């Protein structure tokens, strides 16, 4: 037989692999269509969408099982409410060709989103929630349904008890979808809807193992149950986590109803699924959407969640999203569109103190949520070890990553671990598996002095950066360093509070400096709420403990606080638009803590700025009666988009319902009738004066007179005209202008505020003045 060179034998196989590789390189794209462009020859939009797709798809026999036929085979979702179009599996070349087709407005590649992971009602002034409280009565008068996009729901939790609730409102169109571990009976008058969205997830990751993951609304992660209970959980007496935070747990709007839309799975949350959930939720009839997810920042017209939220807003739905956990780095925000309420995180006046007693006699305070079989005697000292090389800069061995601890060095000792890279609770497991008896978890510069308590699997205490350095220095410089740990339970009345969480994402909003983000902050540190029965409180697979409530931190926790309060406001004022509710939340927010000093930033122990806390900390009772509101209609938001240098085709992404066009009503983006005021001077130094305009609507007493108070600024003179607004009827609108004249161009933005007062209301807007050379 003739000899065939090996390389020629390999070539057909290599070529075949290339074909298979290209065949398998399909990705999910969200395709937005111009609904009005459908030719008369089509009887329905789905038929048209399928035909348009068929015109660009390449029929390849190697693509078996991926939709070789027409465009309909490639479609995984069809959208028809807040968004018009489909999600489909396409190659990159097919997606590029599709963008050129008639009627196609935009083609978005799939984006993977991440979750932004009892005391809060009382801290926010929502108790006592007795039968005579206006807060509880108003919910009964006007039904409100909150849609929660998350990991599903654990329906057996007592937080979803529907005792005493009225029948589900007739307008509600939602359904209780069934699947493994979830039946129709799992819904009730509290959980009025439960749906799943997984086609995008499966398309990106392959078929998931139904034995490991519920292909149903049931929540095995816990995150969705926690956020849903924070929004609208029913009161549960005696709620606690292993004895910590004992008390009555209740959601912000305990009389509201919950619709759970499961969009997040073990492998993440995908934009095509999220978009389908928003589309379905609005059609179901939700009043509020709570979305504790984020996927980075892209331009308004390229952000599918932003586009979907715009459609929801047009339909009268309030949309609340988490700001992200990228702090304290600046410009780390997600979900920055002005029609979305973007929520940062803050602390409450409750913590879970613990102590570290060093062998040199020094006692250091930290936090912990540990309670378990492993104990450390407080009256006995144990060897302590730090595997890092110095106290200031973490290195791989100091981070307690998997496989980095030598049992020969750490067995029987308390191990000091630096935060970073791996989950905090995972570090404790690494210490435990290496034979360590306890852990001291030290913050680094990225976390500062902020303390977040965790439900560890061994005795552990978290300490701030400064104290952590001191402990590490002690361990490195003493021949036989020792320590012991003490757990002190729950402490209330902590001062100062609230404090902006170090992890809470920060502004400025570089998409549009004239739009302040975040909008406000709400409790997001050490929040107690309902939990899944499938996962332990640490969320680690090795954690066999099961609890009914868990304590979590993140802007994922602050977002549902705002969503719940928005539901309360909607129940009191059912005719209010999403912008009116947002205005009420922002203009009544406070900027001083319980020591009457400006809000602090946990990452630096210094005052926070509006780039950290937005308009301030949520104040629910005041938000119910704000006095004045800044209304923004859908066309106003569209006019704002007209200032953003978008092309006509890019603008059309937002004009799907009413064929909106630009009337050029806004001289600049700062003239959007936003509750926060941001004046941006261009780099051109000859421009020294800038005037912005606002209109307020009287939602207080018919006869009201407000006068303006504006804080002094170093870099500019600020003038309000008129300085007094006299209202003669309810819902009357009056306008004012605010003029900034530069006195001295500053290298950094300057912050202040404007307050309209009538004797009983304080309507506050933060003011930011920016001279662009400062960036």
271 forms beta bridges with: none
Using DSSP, state whether 664 is helix, strand or coil.
coil
Cα gap 129→135, rounded to integer Å: 7
Q: Which of 223, 561, 613, 761 is catalytic?
A: 223
3-class secondary structure per residue, 86-155: EEEEECHHHHHHHCCCCCEEEEEECCEEEECCCHHHHHCCCCCCCCCCHHHHHHHHCCCEEEEEECCECC
- In the residue annotation, 223 being an active-site residue is answered as yes
| Spatial CA neighbour of 549 closest among 564, 532, 526 | 532
Q: Which of 91, 116, 120, 150 is catalytic?
A: 150
| Spatial CA neighbour of 335 closest among 116, 124, 123 | 116
DSSP secondary structure string for all residues of 411-468: TTSEEEEE-BSB-HHHHHHHHHHTT-SEEEEE--TTTTT-------SS-EEEE-HHHH
Residue 493 has which token pair?
């009345």
Residue 608 has which token pair?
């926070």
Cis peptide before 722 (omega within 30 of 0): yes
Is residue 500 a contact partner of residue 602, using CB atoms and an 8 Å limit?
Answer: yes
DSSP 20: H
The four Cα atoms 636, 637, 638, 641 give a dihedral, to 10 degrees, of 130
- In the residue annotation, 150 being an active-site residue is answered as yes
In 233-316, where does DSSP find H-type helix? 271-284, 304-314
Residues 6 or more apart whose Cβ sits within 8 Å of residue 334: 294, 295, 296, 297, 321, 322, 323, 324, 326, 505
Q: Residue 623: which H helix or E strand, with range? A: helix 620-623
Tokens 């209109």, residue located = 695
Is residue 562 a contact partner of residue 618, using CB atoms and an 8 Å limit?
Answer: yes
Using DSSP, state whether 494 is helix, strand or coil.
coil
Using DSSP, state whether 270 is helix, strand or coil.
strand
Residue 138 has which token pair?
């108003």
Q: Residue 260: which H helix or E strand, with range? A: strand 257-262
Cα gap 527→562, rounded to integer Å: 14
Q: How far is CA 596 from CA 524, 593, 710, in A?
A: 21, 5, 20
| Spatial CA neighbour of 256 closest among 129, 132, 130, 140 | 140
Is residue 83 a contact partner of residue 305, using CB atoms and an 8 Å limit?
Answer: no
Residues 6 or more apart whose Cβ sits within 8 Å of residue 510: 297, 331
Using DSSP, state whether 721 is helix, strand or coil.
strand
Is residue 570 a contact partner of residue 578, using CB atoms and an 8 Å limit?
Answer: no
Measured distance between the N- and C-terminal CA atoms of the chain, rounded to whole angstroms: 74
- In the residue annotation, 556 being an active-site residue is answered as yes
Using DSSP, state whether 538 is helix, strand or coil.
coil
| Spatial CA neighbour of 769 closest among 728, 717, 733 | 717
Neighbours of 451 (CB within 10 A): 27
Cα gap 232→571, rounded to integer Å: 13
Q: Which of 136, 556, 558, 765 is catalytic?
A: 556
**Backbone phi, psi, residue 262, to 5°:** -80, 110
Which of the residues are catalytic?
A: 150, 223, 556
């Amino acid at each position: 037989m003739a000899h065939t060179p090996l390389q020629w034998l390999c070539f057909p196989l290599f070529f075949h692999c290339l074909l298979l590789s290209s065949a398998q390189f399909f990705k999910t794209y969200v395709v937005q269509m111009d609904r009005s462009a459908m030719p008369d020859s089509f009887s329905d939009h789905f038929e048209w969408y399928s035909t348009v797709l068929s015109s660009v798809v390449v029929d390849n026999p190697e693509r078996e099982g991926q939709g070789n036929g027409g465009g309909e085979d490639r479609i995984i979702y069809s959208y028809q409410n807040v968004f018009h179009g489909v999600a489909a599996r396409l190659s990159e070349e097919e997606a590029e060709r599709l963008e050129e087709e008639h009627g196609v407005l935009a083609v978005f590649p799939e984006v993977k989103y991440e979750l932004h992971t009892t005391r809060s009602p009382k801290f926010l002034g929502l108790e006592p929630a007795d039968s005579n409280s206006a807060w509880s009565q108003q919910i009964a008068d006007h039904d409100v349904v909150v849609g929660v996009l998350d990991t599903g729901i654990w329906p057996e939790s007592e937080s979803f008890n529907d005792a005493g609730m009225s029948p589900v409102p007739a307008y509600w169109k939602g359904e209780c979808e069934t699947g493994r571990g979830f039946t129709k009976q799992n819904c009730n008058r509290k959980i009025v809807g439960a749906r799943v969205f997984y086609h995008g997830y499966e398309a990106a990751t392959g078929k998931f193992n139904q034995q490991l993951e519920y292909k149903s609304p049931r929540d095995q992660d816990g995150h969705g149950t926690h956020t849903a209970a924070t929004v609208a959980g029913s009161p549960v007496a005696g709620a606690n986590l292993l004895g910590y935070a004992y008390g009555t747990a209740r959601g912000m709007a305990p009389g509201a109803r919950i619709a759970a839309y499961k969009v997040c799975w073990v492998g993440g949350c995908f934009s095509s699924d999220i978009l389908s959930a928003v589309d379905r939720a609005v059609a179901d009839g939700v009043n509020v959407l709570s979305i504790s997810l984020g996927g980075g920042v892209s331009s308004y017209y390229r952000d599918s969640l932003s586009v979907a939220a715009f459609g929801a807003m047009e339909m009268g739905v309030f949309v609340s999203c988490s700001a992200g956990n990228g702090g304290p780095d600046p410009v780390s925000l997600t979900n920055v569109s002005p029609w979305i309420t973007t929520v940062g995180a803050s602390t409450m006046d409750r913590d879970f103190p613990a102590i570290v007693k060093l062998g040199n006699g020094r006692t250091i305070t930290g936090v912990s949520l540990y309670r378990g079989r492993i104990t450390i005697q407080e009256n006995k000292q144990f060897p302590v070890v730090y595997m890092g090389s110095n106290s200031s800069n973490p290195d791989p061995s100091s981070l307690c990553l998997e496989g980095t601890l030598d049992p020969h060095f750490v067995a029987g000792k308390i191990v000091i671990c630096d935060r970073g890279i791996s989950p905090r609770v995972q570090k404790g497991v690494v210490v435990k598996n290496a034979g360590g008896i306890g852990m001291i978890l030290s913050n680094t510069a990225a976390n500062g002095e902020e303390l977040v308590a965790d439900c560890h699997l061994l005795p552990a205490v978290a300490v701030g950066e400064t104290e952590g350095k001191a402990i590490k220095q002690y361990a490195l410089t003493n021949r036989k360093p020792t320590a012991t740990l003490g757990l002190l339970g729950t402490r209330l009345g902590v001062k100062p509070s609230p404090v902006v969480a170090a992890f809470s994402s920060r502004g400025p909003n570089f998409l549009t400096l004239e739009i302040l983000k975040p909008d406000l902050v709400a409790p997001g540190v050490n929040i107690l709420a309902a939990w899944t029965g499938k996962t332990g409180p640490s969320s680690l697979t090795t954690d066999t403990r099961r609890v009914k409530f868990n304590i979590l931190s993140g802007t994922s926790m602050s977002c549902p606080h705002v969503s719940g309060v928005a539901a309360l406001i909607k129940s009191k004022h059912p005719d209010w638009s999403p912008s009116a509710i947002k205005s009420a939340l922002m203009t009544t927010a406070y900027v001083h803590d319980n020591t009457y000093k400006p809000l602090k930033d946990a990452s630096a122990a210094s005052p926070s700025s509006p780039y950290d806390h937005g308009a301030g900390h949520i104040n629910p009772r005041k938000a119910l009666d704000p006095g004045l509101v800044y209304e923004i209609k859908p066309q106003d938001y569209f006019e704002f988009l007209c200032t953003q240098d978008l092309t006509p085709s890019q603008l059309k992404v937002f004009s799907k319902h009413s064929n909106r066009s630009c009337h050029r009503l806004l001289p600049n983006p700062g003239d959007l009738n936003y509750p926060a005021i941001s004046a941006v001077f261009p780099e051109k130094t000859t421009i020294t004066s800038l005037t912005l305009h606002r209109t307020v609507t009287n939602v207080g007493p018919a006869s009201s007179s407000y006068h303006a108070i504006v804080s002094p600024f170093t870099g500019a003179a600020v003038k309000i005209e008129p300085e007094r607004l006299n209202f003669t009827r309810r819902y009357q609108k009056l306008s004012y202008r605010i003029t900034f004249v530069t006195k001295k161009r500053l290298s950094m933005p300057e912050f202040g505020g404007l307050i309209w007062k009538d004797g009983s209301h304080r309507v506050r807007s933060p003011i930011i003045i920016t001279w662009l050379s400062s960036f």
